[in-house]
Amino acid sequence: MADDQNNEFMQHMMQMMGIGGGLGTAAGGAFGLFNKNKNPGTVASNTIGQIPGQTKQYYQPYMDAGKGALGDLQNQYKDLLGGTKQNQLGESYKESPGYQFALKQALAASNNANAAGGMLGTPMNQQNNMEAAQGIASKDYGNYMQNQMGLYGQGLQGEQGLNTQGQTASSNYADTIGNALSQQAGYQYAGQAGQNQNKSNMLSNILSGLGTAGASYLGGPGGGAAASWLSNFFGKGNQ
């Protein structure tokens, strides 16, 4: 009779423990399911999203300089292909400091040659002097244009360098944006996958806990078997 009472007591105890444990598991699953924890993937994605804005200040000056150089280069190439650049460079021509000296030297040599030939003061002498003066002027202008084209070429090369720097900066900044977006997509995917898995686990806990509680309440075989084992265990301990 005492064994029957002990067994019945232990069955009731295990039934209550099973119901409590099952409800606890279900409650934990419900808490986890409805608890609004921050998605770690979203947190990481938001942090990575700040990278392009933080680095832009370092790229921006070069991108702006490159953009300005590109527009100027387009205009310069247009003038070069249109044939107007030489005229623009020649508009500011002025005689060089040594032009007058070279002209006097050339005219003196022409007069001396004409005098030696008995043609000093003749129309031939005047023509020779004119040709000498034109030669000096042409040479002086040619030297000026050569210097101008050299300086223009250096300036053009400098703008091409700025344009290249701007292009490189723009490319690097675009890579920064692309890498950030790629990492954001990866973290968002991983975070969503983790949330989906966690939701699945919580639902499983709810169902499992409710199943355990229900089986214990109805005196399922699992609860009965556990109660029998504990009854035997405590029964032996009391003997």
Closest-CA residue to 39 (of 192, 231, 230): 192
**What is the pLDDT at residue 231?**
45
In a domain, 111, yes or no: no
CB 6 within 8 A of CB 229: no
Residue range 148-195, pLDDT digits in tens? 999 999 999 999 999 999 999 999 999 999 998 888 888 777 776 666
46's tokens: 């938001």
In whole angstroms, give the CA distance from residue 163 to residue 66: 4
In this predicted structure, what is the pLDDT of residue 177? 92
Q: What pLDDT score does 196 carry? A: 65
Q: Is residue 204 part of a domain?
A: yes
- Among 142, 209, 173, 210, smallest CA distance to 64 is for 173
- Whether 194 is in a domain gets the answer yes
- Token reading at 142: 């040619």
- DSSP-derived 3-state class of residue 93: coil
Residues of the chain with pLDDT under 50: 2-3, 5-7, 9-24, 26-30, 33, 210, 218, 220-231, 233-239
Range of the domain at 64: 2-91+156-238
Asked whether residue 188 is domain-assigned, the answer is yes
Give the number of domains in the chain: 1
Residue with tokens 């150089």: 69
Which amino acid would we find at residue 149?
M
- Asked if residue 206 belongs to a domain, the reply is yes
- Whether 132 is covered by a domain: the verdict is no
> 34-56 pLDDT, tens per residue?
556 666 777 777 888 888 888 89
